[in-house]
Each structure stands twice: as structure tokens, then as C-alpha cells.
Amino acid sequence: MSLPHAILTALLEKPSSGLELTRRFDKSIGYFWSATHQQIYRELGRLESGGLIRTLPSEQPARGQRKSYEVLPAGREELARWTAASQDPRPMRDTLLLRMRAAAVVGTEGIEADLRRHLDLHRRQLAEYEAIEKRDFPPGRDSSQDRLRHLVLRAGIDLETFWTRWLTHALEEFPDLPGPGTA
């Protein structure tokens, strides 16, 4: 149910075409709610047929032109309803943690190298988030909208900080663990 709400959010921020939405997802919302180009277009069709968005009128013939969409009052009401509704946290599902648990019974072969790879990926993501923070949230930028968007970014920064710390700690443990296949 969250993809339509992510699209409504993005369209309320700025009416866009499907291609523009895909690009914006890649640069912002996609960091915490990913969607493929096909999923976005499919959902745009559903939202439009559901009366939540509409295609903006075009001055040129529609054939071959990008359609841009905007949110209708019913779409804004749906997004407000969804935003105000209570939701429980989702349980964490992480393959790496499950593999670590499995390594306790079958051995650690391959895990250390993958932990190092994950650490590198999380460090890069953290650096990217920190660069976005520096660029998009300089001191004094404190409107309510900016503060809420910054809080979302801070969640990403804090999560990547957690993973880099945890992975560093896990790798520090490896010299004291039994070798591959000797769990």
C-alpha cells in the first residue's frame, strides 16, 4: 500500500511525468522506498483510474508526449488519511544477519569477505547521505517541510552509521572465531 502513497507524496511536491518520478525516486524516496520504472507507471494508471491523480492537460498532441500528473483533492485526502493512520514497526528481515546465524552452525567460509563488502557499501551510502545533508540542509534552512525531510535523511544517516559500526565490530571478532567449516 505504500507505493501509491510515495507517488502521491512526490506528485504533491511537484507534478511530474512517470520518467521524472522515476528519476526523483532514484535521488530521494528510492533510498527508503524503491520502485521500478514499470511499478511506477502501473501505479500511476491505478491512481488515475481511482480518481486520485489526473493527467495534466498538454498544449501539444498527446501521442508520443510525456504525460505529467498532478494530485486531485481525493488523492490529497487519501495521503492525509494514510499519514495520520497508526502503523506498527515492521520486523527486520536481513539476509546477512540470517547468514551470520547460519555460520554459527555451518562455518564462516565466505562471510568475512562479504562483511567487508557490506561495510564498504554502507560507508559509501553514508558518505552519500552526508553529502546530501551538507548540500540540501545548510544551517538556517528550517521550514517545517525542510525539518521533516531532514529527519528522514537523518534516519538514513543514523541507519548507515549503525551498520558501519556493527560491521566494523563484527569484523573485529573474526580473528577469534573458528576457521571456515569448523563451527
Q: Report d(CA 58, CA 168) in Å as an integer.
A: 54
C-alpha cell at 121: 557499501
Mind listing the pLDDT tens digit for each residue in 110-124? 899 999 999 999 999
> What pLDDT score was predicted for residue 34?
82
Looking at the DSSP assignment, which residues form a beta bridge with residue 17? 68
**pTM of the model as a whole:** 0.81
Which residue did the predictor score with more confidence, 31 or 77?
77
For the chain, what percent of residues have pLDDT higher than 90?
A: 66
Mind listing the pLDDT tens digit for each residue in 38-54? 999 999 999 999 999 99
Neighbouring residues of 48: CB distance < 8 A, sequence distance ≥ 6: 54, 55, 69
> In the predicted model, is pLDDT for residue 62 greater than 80?
no
> Helix, strand or coil for residue 14?
coil
Across 2-11, 39-48, 63-72, 73-82, least confident range: 63-72
Average pLDDT, the chain: 89
- Tell me which H or E stretch contains 17: strand 16-17
Mind listing the pLDDT tens digit for each residue in 125-176? 999 999 999 999 998 888 999 999 999 999 999 999 999 999 999 999 988 7
> What pLDDT score was predicted for residue 148?
93
